[in-house]
Amino acid sequence: MKAARAPALGAALALFGGSAAADDRREIQLGLENLYYRTAETALNRGNVLGLDPAEDLLRATGSWRERRGPLRLVARGYVEQRWGGRPRTDSAWRELFAQYDAGHLVSVRAGRQRLAWGSGFAWNPTSRAEAPKSPLNTSLDQPGADAVRLDFVPAAWGSLTLLAARADTAVGDLPFEAPARRRRTGAVRARALVRDTDVALVMAGGKGQRTLVGVDLARGLGGGAAAHLEAATYLGAEMPPARDEARFTRVAAGVLWPRGEAQTLALEYFYNGEGYAPRARDVWLTEVEGAARAAADPALPSDLRARALATYVAAATVPYAGGLGLRRHYLHASWTRAAPGAAWTASTRAVIGLEDGGLALTPGLGWSPRGNLTLQLDAILLLGPPDAEYRLAPVRTAVQLRARALF
Amino acid sequence: MRDLTPALLLALAAPAPDAAEILRRADRALLGDSAAYVLRMSVVRPGKAERVVEMKGWKKGDTLGLVRYTAPAKERGTAYLRSGESTWLFLPSAQKVVRVGARQNFGGGDFSNADIFRLSLLRDYVPTLAGQETVEGQRCHRLELLARDRSVAYHRVVWWVRADGTFYPVRGEYYTLAGKKLKWLTLSEVTRLGGRARPTRLVMENAVETGARTVLEFLAIEDDVALDDRLFTPAALERGE
C-alpha cells in the first residue's frame, strides 16, 4: 500500500504547486445516443402535419472536450445526428462551445455557447429563461446552451454577482419534430448571497422577444439530510398566447431533496405556472387548434388561407414545447434515484404529473458502468393519463433513449 | 529519577492538558489549519463489489471544506462543498449546484457529509475528559463529547486520543440521542505524509450492518496551503474550479 502511494503523492504535490484547486487537466468524452420515438396522430398533429413516421429515430455520435490550462478553460460539446423515419436527414449541433477566463477568484468571464443552469429548481427554473427550458417529457435530457457572455464577480465568499447577455432559440430540444423556436436576446443580472445558511439570489432579466422578470431563489438545508428550495419569478404579460399584456403572472417552483438510506435520493417539486391555461382557457386553445387544422385541410379554401391556417395550427399545436414551461398551472415532479459513486448500477424514476388533468410523463431509467470510464444509460418515456391530458395530446406516445459514453 | 529523560521530566512538569486542549490538538493532528489532500474511499458491503473512488480535498479553518471526485472517470467533477452549516453538491452532468443536508451520507458510504467535513470536533461538541484507557494497543485519553446543539450529526461521541503527546486520534464511537451506537471509527497507519507523521487510514464501521465499512486513505497531504475563502463558494463550483 505504501509503495503505491509514492507516485500518487508526487502527482498530487505537482498539482498543488500551482493554483490551489484549478489544476491543468483535459477530459475527453465520446458517445453514442439513440432516441427512439413511437409517435401518433393526435390533436396536436392533425393530418400528421409534423410529418412523423410512427417510429422516429435519432441516432447521434456525441463528443466532448474540456481543457483547463491555468486560468483558461475551453469546452466543446456537440453531436452529429442522423434522423430516421419520416424525413431522414443529417444534422449537427454544438451543445456548448465556450472559453472561460478566471482572473483569480474575483472575476470570471465565459463567452460562447454555454449552459446557464442557474436556479435551485430541479425540473423548472422560473428565474432562468435565457436558455431552452427542460423537456417536460424528460427533465434529465441534455439541453442545448445559449450563445452568451457571462461575467461572474465574486467580491467576497458570502456573495457574488452575475451579469449575462445571451441569445438563444428557446425551443425544447431532443424532440422528434421541429418545435418553432422563439429567438430571445436576454440581459440578466443575478445577485447571490449566503444569509444565515440560506442561499438567497435575486434575478432580473429581460430583453427582446420576452417579458421582463424579477425573481427570487432561496435554498437551505433542513434538519437531517434534507434540503429545500423555492424559486419564483413575476412578470407582466404572458409568454404563451394570448399575450395578456396587462396581467401580472407568477411562476413558482418549490421542493425538497431528501436522501434515503445508503445511496437513494427522493426529490419532490411543485410547480405553479401562473399563466398556464385554466380548464376553460385550455378548451378555447384546443378549439382554436382544431379549427386551424380543419381550415388547413379544407380544399374549399384558397391556398393562401390554408397556408395561413397551417401556420396558425403549427404555432398553436407546439405551444407546450415552444419555450413554455407547461400548458397548465399546477404540476408535480417526483423522482427517485439510486446512485452511489463508483457503483456499477444506477436506477432512477422520474415523474411529471399534471395536477389538473392527470397527465403523467413517467421516465424510468437504468444505468450500467462495466468500467469506471464507460457508462450505458437506458431511459424510457411513458406518456400516460386521460386522453385529453396535456401529455396525451403530444404526438409522442413512448420513447426509449439509449446512451453510451466513454471517458478519457 | 536518574532514568527519566529530560523530555519526560518536562512533560511531567507541564500542567496536564484539559479536555478542550486535547480535542483541539487531536483536531489538528490529522490535517493542519488549512490543507490540501488526496483521498481514496473504499466502500465495503457484504456480498457486493467494493466501490472505490478517489478525490481531492481542501480545507480552511474550522468552517470551510471542499472535496472533488477525480476517479473513476464517470464520477469526475462531482464535488461537495461545506461552508459553516451549509453543504452543496455540484453535479457536472447537470452543471448545477444543489443544496444537500449535512447528515446525508457521503458517497453512499458510512461517513456522513459532516464526518468528511468534520473540520473541528471542538466546534461542534463539548468535551469532557473521562480518564485514560488502552485502545488499539495505545494508552489514550478518553473524551466524552456531547453535541453543542441538535444540528450536529451525532448526539454523543466517545473519542480516544493518544496520551503520548502526539494527540493522534485512535478511535471514535458515535451514538444517537437514544444512546444507540451507530458506528465506530478506527484511525491507524501513522505515516509521514506532508512533512509530518499522522494517521492516514480511517475505517468507519457500521454498527447496524455487520461487515459494512468504509475506508478512507490519505494518499497525499499538504498543510498550510494558502487558500482563498472564495474557493469555498457555489460560484467557484459552477466555474469548475
Q: What tens digit of pLDDT does each residue of B41-52 get?
A: 999 988 888 999
Half-sphere exposure of B115 (CA within 13 A, CB side): 25
pLDDT value at residue B103: 66
Between these two residues, A14 and A339, which has the higher pLDDT value? A339
Does the structure show a pLDDT above 50 at A13? no
Does the beta-carbon distance from B86 to A199 stay under 8 Å? yes
Residues 7-36 of A with CB under 8 A from B: 8-9, 11-13, 15-16, 20-22, 27
Amino acid, single-letter form, for residue A402: L
The count of other CB atoms within 10 Å of the CB of residue A20 is 20
Best of B42, B48, B60, B74 to substitute, by most chain A Cβ atoms within 10 angstroms, is: B74
B105 secondary structure, DSSP code? B
Instruction: Tell me which residue has cell 437514544.
Output: B178
Does the structure show a pLDDT above 60 at A323? no
pLDDT value at residue B106: 79
Size of interface A-B (CB pairs under 8 A): 177
Distance of CA A177 to the CA centre of its chain: 17
Show the cell assigned to B77.
467533477
The whole-number average pLDDT for the span A63-79 is 94
pLDDT value at residue B14: 55
pLDDT value at residue A220: 92
Does the beta-carbon distance from A16 to B52 stay under 8 Å? no
pLDDT value at residue B3: 46
pLDDT tens per residue, range B12-30: 455 667 899 999 999 888 8
CA of A150: which chain B residue's CA is closest?
Answer: B239
> Among A1-10, A69-78, A271-280, B173-182, whose mean pLDDT is lowest?
A1-10
The model carries a pTM of: 0.85
Give the list of residues 6+ apart from residue A311 with CB closer than 8 angstroms, or none: none
pLDDT-based confidence at residue A21 (cuts at 50, 70, 90)? low
User: From CA B96, how far away is CA B237, in angstroms rounded?
Assistant: 9
pLDDT value at residue A6: 39
> Among A53-62, A76-85, A140-149, A195-204, whose mean pLDDT is lowest?
A140-149
Between these two residues, A173 and A202, which has the higher pLDDT value? A202
Partner-chain residue, chosen from B53, B86, B233, that has the shortest CB–CB distance to A160: B233
Between these two residues, A368 and B117, which has the higher pLDDT value? A368
pLDDT value at residue B1: 43
Q: Cα separations (Å) of B59 from B159, B222, B223?
A: 22, 11, 10
- ipTM, two decimals, is 0.84
CA of A125: which chain B residue's CA is closest?
Answer: B96
Q: Provide, as residue numbers in chain A, all residues whose Cβ is less than 8 Å from the Cβ of B94.
A: 117
Partner-chain residue, chosen from A20, A73, A160, that has the shortest CB–CB distance to B58: A20
Angle between helices A303-317 and A279-296 (to 10 degrees): 150
Does the structure show a pLDDT above 90 at A398? no
pLDDT value at residue A324: 59
Between these two residues, A313 and A134, which has the higher pLDDT value? A313
Is-contact B221 B194, C-beta < 8 A?
yes
Query: With pLDDT > 90 as the criterion, what percentage of chain B qualifies?
Result: 51
CA of B220: which chain A residue's CA is closest?
Answer: A9
The 3-class secondary structure across B165-211, one letter per residue, is: CCCCEEEEEEECCCCCEEEEEEEEEEEEECCEEEEEEEEEEECCCCC
Closest by CA to A43, choosing from A399, A398, A395, is A395
In sequence order, which ranges of A34-187 are alpha helices (DSSP H)?
A: none
pLDDT value at residue A10: 38
Partner-chain residue, chosen from A13, A20, A342, that has the shortest CB–CB distance to B220: A13
Q: Provide, as residue numbers in chain B, all residues whose Cβ is less than 8 Å from the Cβ of A263.
A: 105, 108
> Among A47-61, B66-80, B173-187, whose mean pLDDT is lowest?
A47-61
User: What's the gap in Å between the CA of A65 and the closest CA on chain B?
Assistant: 14
pLDDT value at residue A9: 38
pLDDT value at residue A40: 83
Is-contact A234 A247, C-beta < 8 A?
no
The whole-number average pLDDT for the span A66-92 is 89
pLDDT value at residue B6: 53
pLDDT tens per residue, range A93-125: 899 999 999 998 899 999 999 998 889 998 889
Show the cell assigned to B206.
457500521
User: What's the gap in Å between the CA of A307 and the closest CA on chain B?
Assistant: 41
pLDDT value at residue A136: 62
Does the beta-carbon distance from B101 to A222 stay under 8 Å? yes
A5 inside 8 A of chain B by CB: yes
> Among A14-18, A261-265, B123-127, whose mean pLDDT is lowest?
A14-18
pLDDT tens per residue, range B134-172: 998 999 999 999 988 877 778 899 999 999 999 999 999
Does the beta-carbon distance from A372 to B71 stay under 8 Å? yes
Half-sphere exposure of A51 (CA within 13 A, CB side): 9
